[in-house]
A and B are shown apart, each in its own frame.
Chain A
Amino acid sequence: MPRIARTFIKTGLAYFLCSLLLALGYEFDTFRFPGMIPLFWHLLMVGWITQIIFGVSMWMFPGRTREEGLIAQKWAWSTYILLNIGLMLRVIAEPMIGYSTLRIWDVLIIISALTQVAAAVTYTIELWPRIQSKKKRRQNRKKKRQSSKNNPH
């Protein structure tokens, strides 16, 4: 399993636990804070389920690069970074909007929203060309083999 898939899955597991701890906290008045319910749903559905789908698909779908690294897997790592920055900013800023009128929380919420949608775009850029039929996959492999024969270095 490539490092990007492992990172997505492990981060997803951490969010899974956090979301359920948040749901448990909601049962006690002392732990409640504004925006807790939408946060719980987003940690569960984006932090856990979406992240697991992203991680497993990047591992299982055909046509992945065997080369590891930020440059070789730029769209996959961009997705991971953008999605998690977006989620973390939401976790920080969404409750604060209920407590404070400072402009910074509005700005953080906007950045959070934009980074999450940017993650959806980079994920689509990564995965779309990998949705291939067997025939297309064979053609691509053949092309790759031919080009490596022609340019051995």
Chain B
Amino acid sequence: MPTTSRWMIRCSLLYLLVGFTIGTIMLISKAYPAYSQVWMLLPVHIEMLIFGFIIQFTMGTAYWILPRFLEGEPRGNTAWSKVMVGALNAGILINAWSYLNIFPQWGTTVGRSLEIIAVILFIHLHWRRAVSYR
């Protein structure tokens, strides 16, 4: 498994743990409505589990498992793949901090833009790997 995939899958497991923990707190608050302020964590819960866990896990596994190039770098430019991991995770964290008002509200624009950069890089790295060598 390449380094990029290992990093993405490890990060996704960390987001899974944090996301499920936030979900646990919110679900318990249904039994104790007095603590309903924990519902401000809902957008963080969604961001961490959808982008942090599901999307990142899928991207990391695809980077590992799709057919490799027969010539040159087997999975394309590794530097771009590292930028992809950095941009995706920076985007997720900036969004989460913006939802928690640690960053200003416009932080989500920056966060989403970084996620878009990661997706463009993902497409760039994988487009020509979706092939059959038969």
Contact = CB atoms under 8 A, between A and B. Distances in A.
Nearest to B60: A131
Chain B interface size range: 20 to 34
A117 B1 contact: no
A97 B61 contact: no
A132 B23 contact: no
Interface in B1-19: 1-3, 6, 9-10, 13, 16-17
B131 interface: no
Interface string A105-147: 1110110111011011101100110011110000000000000
Interface residues of A, number: 31
A127 B24 contact: no
B10 A116 contact: no
Main secondary structure of the interface of A (DSSP, over half): helix
Contacts of A113: 23-25, 27-28
A123 B23 contact: no
Main secondary structure of the interface of B (DSSP, over half): helix
Contacts of A90: 27
B28 A109 contact: yes
Interface of B: 1-3, 6, 9-10, 13, 16-17, 20-21, 23-25, 27-28, 30-32, 49-50, 53-54, 57-58, 61, 65
List 10 tightest A-B contacts by C-beta distance, closest first.
A106-B31, A113-B27, A120-B20, A113-B24, A117-B24, A117-B20, A109-B31, A124-B13, A113-B28, A131-B6
24 contacts: A45-B50, A45-B54, A50-B54, A60-B61, A60-B65, A62-B1, A94-B30, A97-B31, A105-B31, A106-B31, A106-B32, A109-B30, A110-B27, A110-B28, A112-B27, A116-B20, A117-B24, A123-B13, A127-B13, A128-B10, A131-B10, A133-B1, A133-B2, A133-B6
